Amino acid sequence: MFAAENGLRGDPRLQAISEAIRVVPHFPKQGIMFQDITTLLLNHKAFKDTVDIFVDRYRDMGISVVAGVEARGFMFGPSIALAIGAKFVPLRKPRKLPGKVISEAYELEYGADCLEMHVGAVQPGERALVIDDLVATGGTLSAAIRLLERVGAEVVECACVIGLPEVKGQHKLNGKPLYVLVEPREIDDCY
């Protein structure tokens, strides 16, 4: 569900967050309107507002794990985890974590990929939040849910800063709630 549909309609922070995200046409390939959150990170107030909205939502949900999807989930996840008193667990691409890992493969529209997590990072019964910057088809988030559930975690919700219009109205992902702050913008004035 989009934040504006869940109590934040008209909240000026959502507009500021949306405007802080740069749109780069035709990157990384023709036809893609890349949503560049690095400009959001440069805007202290918009970045803080992004984290604060998530913290306000998750503070009282008994979440003990914030699992961030590589790489942009790493930019929001640790701040949220610290603020709600949870640990941060990175979900990485293959061969990026040392030691024993558990893996979950998934299909993409252009191939396949895999997420990995350290064995023992999450204990059975822990309540988890999955965080990433953007949800398009939900394939990566679905793999993150499966990975966490395989070790016995209860995934409470998935959260993203940006959700493509295709996921609007999609309040669940693999049966888990999906929470999105803003829709992508089409074009940036600086291009």
- Pairwise CA distance, residues 105 & 14, whole Å: 33
Residues that are catalytic:
72, 109
Q: Which residue has the tokens 């995200």?
A: 21
Asked if 140 and 161 count as a contact pair (C-beta separation under 8 A), the reply is no
Query: Over 50: is that where the pLDDT of 124 sits?
Result: yes
- Pairwise CA distance, residues 160 & 72, whole Å: 10
pLDDT per residue over 4-30, tens digit each?
Answer: 888 899 999 999 999 999 999 999 889
Query: pTM of the entire structure?
Result: 0.93
- Pairwise CA distance, residues 80 & 59, whole Å: 9
pLDDT per residue over 139-176, tens digit each?
Answer: 899 999 999 999 999 999 999 999 987 765 566 678 89
